[in-house]
Chains A and B, each alone.
Chain A
Amino acid sequence: MLFLVAVATFFTLGIFAAIFYFAIRYRRRSATELPVAQHGAMVLEIVWTVIPFALTMVMFGWGAEIFLRESHAPKDALQVFVVAKQWMWKLQHTEGKREINELHIPVGRAVRLTMTSEDVIHSFFVPAFRTKQDVVPGKYSTTWFKPTKAGKYHLFCAEYCGTRHSGMTGWIYVMEPQDYANWMRGGAPSESLADDGARLFKELACANCHKADNTGRCPSLAGVYGSTVKLTTGETVTADEAYIRESILQPNAKIVAGYPPAMPTFQGLVTEEGMLQLVEYIRSLGGKPAAGGAH
């Protein structure tokens, strides 16, 4: 940022100074004076093309590096789930604690957010963390950050979403580890997300086909999270949260090799929050930890 400000200031002041100087030094002194025409100088053109271009490439590289780093959360990040809707933020920790428009997190630990919207596009914006990520209905988007200082920080919705867009704000509370632990313990006891998911799994009769011992018509889901799955088309995909969500809503989009297209769709039968609970439950059945992927 400082580099850009420096370059911008340099060129701004440079141009301003040059214009100021030339305008005064070469101001018209007589009505009939005729300056000598200067049509151009290729060398000058090349110089003031190449140097700015080199500077912009530095800017690109630097910015790209930051962006790429931001797009892959560390494997040990704390996972939080976010559902945005007009005009509030619903957040849930894996242990089950729910928050509305607030997020309590411990200082010094990476936090990864998996987010979706129930209605229109929103955007999760925490200026202090230099974090912003659009939250889109119909898909998951992710972002991560690692707070380094305890305190209270603004949370804003940064994508215009209707009447109370400017009211869709909240706070991120970054706490010392002890305070965070206390906060986690306090309040009404709640089931973990995975437990909620387990209950939904049973209610929606998923267990009838997805038997744990692989005797059902469909593959067992133990260990599937994060693994590589082979499809009937021959392609392989990683079974991340987006894959699981798609499998529930559009089961025929990707069918596991060796299995029939027998799964019905659960579109309209599961809310976004329910979806996140199911994802957490399936993750809890084992398999690789949450992969990176900021989108």
Chain B
Amino acid sequence: MERETYLNAGYGLKSWLLTRDHKRIGLLYLFTITLFFFIGGAFATLIRMELMTPQGGLVSSETYNKLFTMHGVAMIFFFLIPSIPATLGNFFLPMMIGARDLAFPRINLLSWYLLVVGGLFALFAMLAGGVDTGWTFYTPYSTTYSNSWVIATALGIFVAGFSSILTGLNFIVTVHRMRAPGMTWFRLPLFVWANYATALIQVLGTPVLAVTIVLVFCERVFHIGIFDPALGGDPVLFQHLFWFYSHPAVYIMVLPAMGVISELVSTFSRKPVFGYKIVAFSSMAIAVLGFLVWGHHLFVSTQSVYAGLVFSFLSYFVAIPSAIKVFNWTATLYKGSISFATPMLYAFGFIGLFTIGGLTGLFVASLGIDVHVTDTYFVVAHFHYIMVGGTIMAYLGGLHFWWPKMTGRMYPELWARLSALVIFLGFNLTFFPQFILGYLGMPRRYHVYPPEFQVLHVMSTAGASILAVGYLMPMVYLIWSLRYGKPAPANPWGATGLEWKTASPPPLHNFDETPVVEHEVYDYSAVVGEGI
């Protein structure tokens, strides 16, 4: 008799599309964002192919401009922002705190539908001819001069924004009100702290993006003049409004990843994270400080010199909590029991690449240096190191870590380790040359470029082809494992955390009885023997 799990508790399309189960919703998100990842990846492939030669030739300038715009839009709004919170967070946050579900399961499902609807708008724009404003859609180009599908894309992002807001709202209420008896704040896994801090940013920042999009829409349709200098408006006002959200947005993308890394480093060293409270507070500090630094995107955009000084100063502040995390993770390894399972390899990759990406953030935070490197490939490399070298590696690490719990199957370890290595090498070859390109003066968003930059571009494209293989491999073997993977025990890694106390895959209501928490967090003495 087959044990009842959340996967077989109902069959058919309706049971998935009308589900209230946070675990199924997590999988719905997994499917959706993976789709958008490959769409964004397809655009990236075309971009890198085009950039192999200085004069292009594969696509026209207009098409190229659409490619980098849609790559950014797809990856940021429809992949990265939802990624970890909406898949791993949705699935595991309730379980980690000992709850049966999120506070508002139907709103959770609504969040997913909003992402899908927003995604359909964006897809429509892409198929109908594309949008060419850059994902940052600066005015007045986006409001007055672009002849592309700006409004459809903007509407897609607007709708997807509400998906993000509602997920954040759900998480905050859940963490406050649904913790099991004995689950105090300082017994929460760091993944929960990270998602909580992220949720705060989502609810406070995203509405500002929403109203900015409303203004762009009004400007484009009604020509009200809010960003049009001919009518008395200020195009730079848009930049302030846009970056007020979009800077905290990058912390939406990286904080959950850091939460994953805390779990991985702890589990695969079999030790509590060094400085648990500090790491928890550092997530909160990043969330708060992240709202104070948006002007560092406007250093050369005619923002006042004094504002520049303030924003540069504060930008250095926000670097410190991230550095603290890296040091604490490293210290966790000290005298630990280190396993090199795939999730841990991804964690190592994250720490290394995030360190590089974060340190280059110090470069762009410096007013003097930023004048030279802003709007060049240096910045492109900086943010890809953090979002791809960082977030995506953490996401894959988390996916592998929790795969047995979600699916009841083990993935093939050898292939997984190989992919992690291929991704690490491919990534560095793709993006490290871009630091040099930027420093030498190669501007971003350039379709054609002077021939002296070609060698570095070819290296970057070579790396991209390796990276692409690295990303395709998990697609193949993870799907393979669904059928042929070894059945997974409840706690294959010997991890602490309430989610490992229940079967793999979990039953519909997560726990047969509401857990009562008596141990401190990351207490490995309590799970000795599990996972062998």
Instruction: List chain A positions with a Cβ less than 8 A from chain B.
Output: 1, 4, 7-8, 11-12, 15-16, 18-19, 22-23, 26-29, 31-41, 44-45, 48-49, 52-53, 56-57, 59-60, 62-68, 70-71, 86, 119-121, 123, 125, 127-128, 130-134, 136-139, 141, 154, 156-167, 169, 250, 267, 294-295
Known: A4-B366, A60-B366. A139 touches B351 (CB 8 A): no
Known: A64-B312, A138-B235, A267-B230. A52 touches B368 (CB 8 A): no
A163–B61 contact, CB under 8 A? yes
Look across to chain A and name the residue whose beta carbon is closest to the beta carbon of B136.
A160
Q: Give Cα A217–Cα B134 distance, bound, in whole angstroms.
A: 49
Look across to chain A and name the residue whose beta carbon is closest to the beta carbon of B314.
A60
- Can you pick out 6 interface pairs between chain A and chain B where the beta carbons lie within 8 Å of each other? A26-B336, A36-B335, A37-B522, A37-B523, A39-B276, A127-B376
From 159 to 216 in chain B, residues with beta carbon under 8 angstroms from any chain A beta carbon are none
Look across to chain B and name the residue whose beta carbon is closest to the beta carbon of A295.
B302
Whether B275 is near chain A, meaning CB under 8 Å from some CB there, is: yes
Complex partner residue of A11 from B271, B302, B359, B366, CB under 8 angstroms: B359
Residues from chain B with a CB closer than 8 A to the CB of A139 are 229, 302
Whether B327 is near chain A, meaning CB under 8 Å from some CB there, is: yes
Residues from chain A with a CB closer than 8 A to the CB of B445 are 160, 165-166
B335–A26 contact, CB under 8 A? yes
Contact flags B240-254 to A (C-beta < 8 A → 1, else 0) = 000000000000000
A134–B300 contact, CB under 8 A? yes
For the complex with contacts A4-B366, A60-B365, A134-B302, 18 further pairs of A-B residues with Cβ separation under 8 Å are A8-B359, A22-B338, A27-B340, A28-B338, A37-B525, A38-B272, A38-B274, A38-B334, A39-B272, A40-B277, A49-B324, A63-B365, A63-B367, A86-B145, A121-B140, A138-B235, A159-B375, A295-B305
Q: Give Cα A153–Cα B274 distance, bound, in whole angstroms.
A: 51
Q: Give Cα A70–Cα B372 distance, bound, in whole angstroms.
A: 12
A123–B375 contact, CB under 8 A? yes
B516 to chain A, nearest CB (A): 22
Whether B319 is near chain A, meaning CB under 8 Å from some CB there, is: yes
Residues from chain B with a CB closer than 8 A to the CB of A56 are 316-317, 319-320, 362, 365
A21 to chain B, nearest CB (A): 9
B323–A52 contact, CB under 8 A? yes
Known: A12-B356, A64-B312, A162-B146. A35 touches B302 (CB 8 A): no
A137–B447 contact, CB under 8 A? no
From 23 to 73 in chain B, residues with beta carbon under 8 angstroms from any chain A beta carbon are 61-62, 65
Q: Give Cα A159–Cα B140 distance, bound, in whole angstroms.
A: 12
A161 to chain B, nearest CB (A): 6
Q: Give Cα A23–Cα B359 distance, bound, in whole angstroms.
A: 23
Look across to chain A and name the residue whose beta carbon is closest to the beta carbon of B232.
A250
Whether B217 is near chain A, meaning CB under 8 Å from some CB there, is: no
Whether B369 is near chain A, meaning CB under 8 Å from some CB there, is: yes
Complex partner residue of B446 from A32, A33, A137, A165, CB under 8 angstroms: A165
Q: Give Cα A12–Cα B323 distance, bound, in whole angstroms.
A: 11
Residues from chain B with a CB closer than 8 A to the CB of A127 are 372, 376, 440-441
Q: Give Cα A160–Cα B367 distance, bound, in whole angstroms.
A: 21
A40–B447 contact, CB under 8 A? no
Q: Give Cα A216–Cα B360 distance, bound, in whole angstroms.
A: 59
Residues from chain A with a CB closer than 8 A to the CB of B468 are none
Residues from chain A with a CB closer than 8 A to the CB of B275 are 39-41, 44-45
Whether B269 is near chain A, meaning CB under 8 Å from some CB there, is: yes
Complex partner residue of B302 from A26, A65, A66, A136, CB under 8 angstroms: A136
B305–A294 contact, CB under 8 A? yes
Residues from chain A with a CB closer than 8 A to the CB of B337 are 26-29, 33-35
B69 to chain A, nearest CB (A): 9
Whether B15 is near chain A, meaning CB under 8 Å from some CB there, is: no
B140–A137 contact, CB under 8 A? yes
A160–B138 contact, CB under 8 A? yes
From 350 to 389 in chain B, residues with beta carbon under 8 angstroms from any chain A beta carbon are 351-352, 355-356, 359-360, 362-363, 365-372, 374-376
B524 to chain A, nearest CB (A): 6
A52–B320 contact, CB under 8 A? yes
Residues from chain A with a CB closer than 8 A to the CB of B524 are 34-35, 37
Known: A121-B140, A128-B441, A163-B132. A26 touches B368 (CB 8 A): no
Residues from chain B with a CB closer than 8 A to the CB of A29 are 337
Residues from chain B with a CB closer than 8 A to the CB of A7 are 359, 362
Whether B6 is near chain A, meaning CB under 8 Å from some CB there, is: no
Q: Give Cα A11–Cα B340 distance, bound, in whole angstroms.
A: 23
Residues from chain A with a CB closer than 8 A to the CB of B278 are 40, 45
Residues from chain B with a CB closer than 8 A to the CB of A130 are 371-372
Known: A37-B522, A138-B229. A120 touches B368 (CB 8 A): no
